[in-house]
Amino acid sequence: MTLNYVKNIFYSHKYLAVSLPLFAFIGFVGLFIFTKKNVLDWIDLINTLPNPSPKQILELSSVSAFNDSIALVIFLPFIQLFFLGKLFYKSYEFTLPLQAWQKYVAYLLVAIVVFIINLLCIVFANYLLEWYLQKDYLSMLQKAFEDSGYIYQEIPEYNILHNSFVNKELISLGSFVFFSILPFFLAAQLLFQKYSFIKSLLIAVGLIVLGRMFSTHVWSKHFTYINNEQYISMYQVMIIIIPALLCYIGFYYFFKDKEV
């Protein structure tokens, strides 16, 4: 029943198969233009000059990978879910022959599907960017290193020419942050009638700030009393995971009460 409900949501809005990837790629291009304009200027310069100097070519070797794309992995799904939320939280939603836990799981599944689609699109876009730059400029950059006397110089792995390197962080950190914020977003969708996305974001950011303040002013002064290194290393993670889990549980009971 739960899976059928999820299927009906996507089948009744088939445009999502196009809009989700399209939104992801537009966001990728837009953020790249905004944060990596120096790369576009470099490409324009190299393609304009008939014989660019090694110094001009080597400017690309100092450009870092597109790490900002992690913001797209985290926030684009929430924007999509915000509009999808208009499908969920209708008055008739609470009259459907589904138990509270089934609807709860359905909402989580929809969020997971939207997140995975966005993640795959951004990961693919990072690979595509790397392929394009390596195809046209990798050999040029290697020759510039040799002409400058850096025969054994290798291009750093964090460089834009090895842009797919950031995908590891996108998958690990992006997933962790998204699913940590998700329960606050879902709860806000039910709790607030207006500006639920902004309010849920403010709640999540506020809790993160409080956690960091506690970590800075309390934990940093007393962590030396604990000898368990594993506990110390897990602290920064658990201070986020525990509130998120509590919010997942709270969202379920709040949602259940909403149906009564």
Are 225 and 160 within 8 A, CB to CB?
no
Would you state the structure tokens that stand for residue 22, as one six-digit string? 């399209």
CA pair distance 89, 201, nearest whole angstrom? 19
Question: Residue range 140-161: average pLDDT?
Answer: 78
Q: At residue 164, what is the residue type?
A: S
pTM metric for this prediction? 0.78
pLDDT digits (tens, 9 = 90+) for 111-143: 898 999 999 999 999 999 999 988 888 888 888
CA proximity to 185, closest of 126, 111, 241: 111
Q: Which pLDDT does position 200 carry in this prediction?
A: 62
Write the CA distances from 48 to 42, 44, 133, 258, integer angstroms.
10, 6, 16, 63
Write the CA distances from 128 to 45, 58, 66, 121, 133, integer angstroms.
22, 22, 12, 10, 9
* Residue keyed to tokens 């997942």: 248
